[in-house]
Each structure stands twice: as structure tokens, then as C-alpha cells.
Structure 1
């Protein structure tokens, strides 16, 4: 998990409240992840292009723990719409690429997911990529627990986004 805590009350839509500091270029000067992908923090970027960036989690929950983020500021997963499905899929694809570049070939022992607000410490959308999931310790198994109130897998998020608007 990242070191910056989200201090917004749970009832506030963070995507709207943070928008005042987000520039037209998709950069939020208050966002630690925006500063990381813009080379302002000295963090090693494992991947960085106009669309997607990736770096190691500062508190790894598994031997391989990466954060894959949109390079431009996008709010947390609760603020996403059906139109964001391709972006979420891109994050997973890049996470898979990074794992393979780091010699993780058993993709059946990987966890891809997001913390569900208000349980996320940074409001910039970020995919946690953890491998091997079987080597996660007790606390990591709790923090990145499947079928919990605070963590949603990438597949679950895609399914949720695809269902948005179908019942309206």
C-alpha cells in the first residue's frame, strides 16, 4: 500500500472533489502517483509511456508487487464508468508484461486487483499486481483478500463496469 492516506470522508466523491487540482493535462499536483510518473519523486519506473506507468509498491505484499497506473490522473475504481473497461484491461496487460519481464511465468498464482474506496490510500487509480500470491504473508492475505469489502479483483471490476447502465 502507498504511504499517503486518503483523508476524504467516505461520503465524498473523490473524483469530483480532487478535480480542482487536476490540470488539463491530467496531472494532479497533490497526487503522489502523478508526481511519481512525472519523475518528481526519484522512484524507479519499470514502465512509463503516455498511457500507462508501473513501479514497485513501497510496502510489498508479495515477492513481486507492482502498481500499474494510468500515466494521466484518473480517480479511484469507484469513480470509473463502462468507458473505462479498456483502460482497466490495459492495466492488467501491462501488469502481466511486467511480471513476465521479471521471470514470473506462473500467471495462475497472481493477484490483480484494486482497493475499494474508502479503503484506498491514494485516489489515483492503481492496479496491485502481486505474485506469487501463494507466498503472500498473513497481513497481505488480509489486505488483498478476495471477496472482501475492501479489495476487488480486476475481473470483478470489469464485470461491474460492464453491468453499469444495464439496469437503468
Structure 2
């Protein structure tokens, strides 16, 4: 067999491998979408009233939440009940906002303070923020229809599905810094 035929067949094998890898990636994204669609109650796709919102009840003290690890006038931080790694915290504003999609330029301050507050909070716990994921899910990939910032560390402690679920700057998850940048460019 000539070397040109061998090289041609190697290129075809490489193309097939790339096609298979791309197909697997598309399948994983589809599975993630289906997972969130199933987990998210159909009713929750409608705007949720603050009176019925679980996170609003946590933030206002009307429902026994997980232990509040931090609280100020704007937001609270507590442990996620389904941790994706050794440390997994949520920062939620006390005022009800469904998600990043309902925010605009006027909310840059709130999101910036939540982000820097999460970074400071993780640091105060001795958690390495250089090995952390800090960000927001984008609708329809949200399980609670109340804005919440995830702070997760270490990344190396995350399972396969969690790494996909919290894949920074994917179309379903945005880093805190990118969320702030997007809001700064948005209209009022």
C-alpha cells in the first residue's frame, strides 16, 4: 500500500473520530437540556410570585432555610442542598428576580456585589477561588426561578455531569464576571 493511500485513510479515520466526538458533545448537551426540562416543574416556567418562591421564603426568614452562612441587606449565602463539589454555596438576592434574563444595566451593582461577596465569602472559608466556578445558569436551564449565584470549589471535585452542568460561558451557564460585563452592555 502506498504512503499516500495510508495518509488518506488516516485522515478519514481522524475525520470519523472528530465526527463521533462532536456527536457525543451534541448528545450530552441534549441530555442536559432534557434533564433540566424534566426537573423544572412546567408551572415554574410561568413567572413565580415571591409569596410562592422557595428562595424568597428563605431570604425573608419565612421558611426554615439551610443555615444562612452570610446575610446583608441585599442577599444571603447558604449551602446548596445538592452540592456539585466539596464546597457549593448559593448567593440569592432578597428581592425576587426570576433570572439574569430579567436584569438590565441598573442591576450591575447588585450582581457585582453578589459576585464579590461570594468571592470574599469563599476566601473567608479558606477556599481557593482560583479553583472555583462562580456563576449563574441561564433560562431555561434553571431549577429555581429566583436569581442565584453558584460558588463551587474545587473544580477537580466535580463529577462529569456537574462539570458539564456548570461549564463556564456555555449557553446554559455564565460566569459572574461575564454576567456583569453583559449587564454593563445592556439597555436600561
Give the TM-score taking structure 2 as reference length. 0.72
Structure 1 Cα separation of the partners of residues 44 and 66 of structure 2: 29
Contact 2:131 2:153 in 1 (8 A): yes
Higher relative contact order, chain-length normalized (CA < 8 Å, sep 6+):
1
Structure 2: state its 5+ residue gaps: 1-35
> Are the structure 2 counterparts of residues 50 and 113 from structure 1 closer, same or farther at C-alpha, using a change threshold of 3 Å?
same
1:3-47 per-residue CA deviation (whole Å, 9 max, x = no partner) reads: x8353586xxx6xx34xx3xxxxxx11101011122212421001
One of 93, 101, 123 as aligned partner of 1:70: 93
Mark the structure with the bigger radius of gyration: 2
Name the counterpart of 1:124.
146
> Are the structure 2 counterparts of residues 5 and 64 from structure 1 closer, same or farther at C-alpha, using a change threshold of 3 Å?
same
Name the counterpart of 1:25.
none
Contact 1:48 1:71 in 2 (8 A): no
In the TM superposition, residue 59 of structure 1 has moved relative to its aligned partner by 0.6
- Number of residue pairs matched by the alignment: 150
Off by >4 Å, runs of 4+ in structure 1: none
One of 119, 126, 146 as aligned partner of 1:103: 126
Give the TM-score taking structure 1 as reference length. 0.80
> Are the structure 2 counterparts of residues 6 and 95 from structure 1 closer, same or farther at C-alpha, using a change threshold of 3 Å?
farther
1:55-87 per-residue CA deviation (whole Å, 9 max, x = no partner) reads: 111110111100001122122111110111111
Structure 1 Cα separation of the partners of residues 136 and 68 of structure 2: 20
